[in-house]
Amino acid sequence: MTKRLVMAVPVYENLLAHLVDFEERRSHIIDLYYPELGKQREEFEQLMDSYISEVDIAVKNVLFSDEANNYFPFVCLNSEVEIEDIEELETYSYKLIIPENSRSESNCITILSPMGKALLCKKEGDIVSVNTPSGVYRYRIKSIKLK
């Protein structure tokens, strides 16, 4: 049985609107950023399908409360994620966004970046490895909030 998620009504409404919008634009987003058939496109399609499924399950298992603390059980678009570099023990906060929103906000990462792909759908406490041109970095997810 899926654990019930406690949310404030405005947060839930934002999440539901995001889910509907993302489902409608799924194919467009995939075609826009991965126009060529291949392994990268296939992996991104699988990530998007998994993401939509996870968000769909979450919105179906909500209890409403005005005292909700904005906790969210996994990293989703528009969530604020606090991560800790396992080796350096430094903490960073990011907001996960789609590329179209990257010009207007700071401390944001997109779902197309190695970090964004590694974090999407992960849970608090999970350790993620991020492959970058300068090496592999490992992070622990400390908190996830949705506003």
Reported pTM: 0.87
Q: What does the pLDDT look like over 82-111, one tens digit per residue?
A: 999 999 999 999 999 988 765 666 789 999
Q: Contact, 91 vs 83, CB < 8 A?
A: yes
Instruction: Identify the pLDDT of residue 132.
Output: 84
More confident residue, 101 or 68: 68
Q: What does the pLDDT look like over 106-127, one tens digit per residue?
A: 789 999 999 999 999 999 999 9
- C-alpha angle with apex 114: 112 to 117, nearest 5 degrees? 60
CATH of 79-146, one of 3.40.605.10, 3.40.640.10, 3.10.50.30, 3.40.50.1400: 3.10.50.30
More confident residue, 17 or 104: 17
At position 84, the amino acid (one-letter code) is: E
Question: What is the token pair recorded at 101?
Answer: 């929103």
Q: What is the DSSP letter of 71?
A: B
